[in-house]
A and B are shown apart, each in its own frame.
Chain A
Amino acid sequence: MPDLSFVFAQSLSGLTAAMFLFLIAAGLSLIFGVLRVLNFAHGTFYMLGAYSAYQFVQWLGPGPGTFWVAALGAALAIAALGGVVERLLFRHLYGKEELYQLLFTYALVLILSDVAKIIWGTQQKSLSRPPGLTGSFSLFGATIPFYNLFILLLGPAIALAFWFVLQRTRMGRFIRAAALDRETLGALGVNVDALYMWVFVLASFLGGLGGALISPMRAIVPGMDTEVIVEAFVVVVIGGLGSFWGTFLGAIIYGQVLSFGILFFPRFSIFSVFALMAAVLIVRPWGLLGRPLR
């Protein structure tokens, strides 16, 4: 039986992973809730966020604020990319069958991940942690890197900020309304087209930010997009497609299942995650906090 500090460390590592997944899954859930589309390309936006952050760091050179500027820049760049994709391409598929929309997002995965390979090659890249957040401290016998602590605090902070936007701002109210009944919203004179674009932009921002922030912790490699998108799917299914806090909860559950799964049943950890996803879909398809689709 592993000692308590080890369990604590595992749990924290699971929580950290959860926060990244939350960033991606929140965007995915948002797009699904409003546009009713499962965006396969979201994982690729995340990957591009990581690559962009790397690129910005290369351009800006070393310096105290470089990492932060790069991360923010990457998130904004990906947000812009999302907006362009929606406005120029995705928009034209709205009336058509869902299958076409899904396959389009998959086409984006194919195209964008190869573009990333063309620009950055296949060697793995990495970023170092920003000065000020290097090093680690000790808690309950476990060694915790400061950067991880930052992520653990940032995650809920972003969640709260996001929730605030959804609940208190006009834009947020439109988003929630669009998720419930977009036809009525359009009839009320709201520019639904523009709203869709902003939703895409916001979701892409979150995804890009997630990618940028994870780059000091994980190697940036091709293929990280297809890996992460499936994980994000699991998270939104567990939490509930379209539910905001559901995504947060789903990410936490997923993170814990994965990290303890690896610990106790290393051979079953991947299996258990998908089995959990299947179980949720069988028993309660709309997830823990979601609403049955009309």
Chain B
Amino acid sequence: MMRRVPWALLVFLAAFSVPALASRFYTFLANDVIIWALFATSLNLLVGYTGLVSFGHAAYFGIGAYTTGILMKKLGLPFLLAFPAAGVFAGACALVFGFFCVRLTRIYFAMLTLAFAQIVWAICFKWNEVTGGEQGMPEIPYPSFDWVDRVATILPFVGGYRTSDYYYFTSLILVGVCLWLLRRIVHSPFGRMLTTIRENAERAEFIGVNVRRYELAAFVLAGGFAGLAGGIFGIFNRGVFPDFAYWTKSSEVLIMTLLGGMGTFYGPAVGALVLLWLNQQIVSYTEYWPLVLGVILVLLLFVFPGGIVGALSDLWRRLDRRRRHA
């Protein structure tokens, strides 16, 4: 019975009510969470489903953010164009980088993804003319929401919100669509082929899977969706900065994915929610958030390798078994 309830859909619909029910602060937090949820889920396509550990995923996030930022701020393009462009350009970069990365195994793969991410960071950091260099690009404009007033005459409940709220609704819809797409991909024949690669790449070869080509495809898709997340984030953050691509950001999103649970689809999203919420709580008490994060990570690694969702589904299975035997 539990499985029939479309939880994800319910959460999605409920999320629309946040600006009306909660303060500006919570809307801000929710917006942050959904963007990182997309970012982490895109990484999970690589790590959790294909078994490829990338330490440079933030590169595509950064590329996406800068693409949207540059297109909107410097070239004045509308969000409707700038946003997909983020995904396309990030995906294209992933294609180029990924081509070289998938030819390597394990630790070398991880190091090359790290090297490419640092190259992206270095370019963003130093190319002052285009990226604003070390200062980044502050004050990216919000997309225009003037048309909402016209819609509000027909559907009055749509009107009366702040611009940041409208951006939140936009993010929610965009992230929702992207996650829905990713879910289709993961549960498709293509997704199944990816899991065979993760489970046993040698055997996968001998059921006809061109492992390198599939890995590259996964890399490009993951990079593209990360770029889309970055595109949304740049505007949300009111500015785009080089540290979006720094390797420590890659590890943050990796931890999120692990925290939520790598083997499941919604794990990373849950991880994003928990981590960002925890961050908010802890930061108000102490500045030593990295220490707390490190301890949580150690706990995860030693005690709950399946992450939150893994631990919960384990618990569920155990309770279920007990109920059946009772």
Contact = CB atoms under 8 A, between A and B. Distances in A.
A–B direct contact (CB < 8 Å): yes
Interface of A: 32, 36, 38, 89, 92-93, 96, 98-100, 102-104, 106-111, 113-115, 117-118, 226, 230, 233-234, 237, 241, 267-268, 270-271, 274-275, 277-278, 281-282, 285, 293
A106 B248 CA distance: 10
Nearest to B123: A271
B108 A285 contact: yes
Contacts of A278: 100, 112, 115-116, 119
A45 B103 CA distance: 33
A98 B106 contact: yes
B18 interface: no
Nearest to A277: B115
Contact of A103 (B100, B122, B125, B301): B301
B214 to A, nearest CB: 20
| 4 interchain residue pairs of minimum CB distance | A110-B294, A111-B294, A114-B291, A107-B297
B302 to A, nearest CB: 7
A271 B126 contact: yes
B24 to A, nearest CB: 30
Nearest to A92: B302
Contact of B301 (A100, A241, A275): A100
Given A268-B126, A271-B122, A281-B111, A110 B104 contact: no
Contacts of B53: 98-99, 102
A233 B258 contact: no
Contacts of A109: 294
A241 B107 contact: yes
A226 B251 CA distance: 12
Contacts of B254: 103
A294 to B, nearest CB: 11
A285 B104 contact: yes
A100 B305 contact: yes
Instruction: Pick the most buried of B122, B126, B293, B305: most chain A CB atoms within 10 A of its CB.
Output: B122
B298 A107 contact: yes
B301 A106 contact: no
A96 B301 CA distance: 10
B118 interface: yes
Nearest to B248: A226
A150 B249 CA distance: 38
B275 interface: no
Given A92-B302, A100-B305, A267 B126 contact: yes
B295 interface: yes
B288 interface: yes
Contacts of A268: 126
B241 interface: no
A180 B290 CA distance: 36
A96 B258 CA distance: 14
Nearest to B258: A103
A6 B300 CA distance: 52
A282 B101 CA distance: 8
Given A98-B107, A103-B258, A281-B111, 20 more contacts: A32-B107, A38-B107, A38-B111, A93-B301, A98-B53, A98-B106, A99-B47, A102-B53, A103-B255, A107-B301, A108-B294, A109-B294, A110-B291, A110-B294, A111-B295, A241-B107, A270-B118, A270-B126, A275-B119, A281-B115
Interface string B248-277: 100100110010000000000000000000
B288 A114 contact: yes
28 contacts: A32-B107, A98-B53, A102-B53, A103-B258, A107-B297, A107-B301, A111-B291, A111-B298, A114-B288, A114-B290, A115-B291, A117-B288, A118-B291, A226-B248, A230-B247, A241-B107, A267-B126, A270-B122, A270-B126, A271-B119, A277-B118, A281-B100, A281-B108, A281-B115, A282-B100, A282-B103, A285-B108, A293-B107
Contacts of A226: 248
Contacts of B290: 110-111, 113-114
B93 interface: no
Contact of B297 (A93, A103, A285, A293): A103
Contacts of A233: 111, 114
Contacts of B105: 293
B100 A106 contact: no
Contacts of B302: 92-93
Contacts of A117: 288
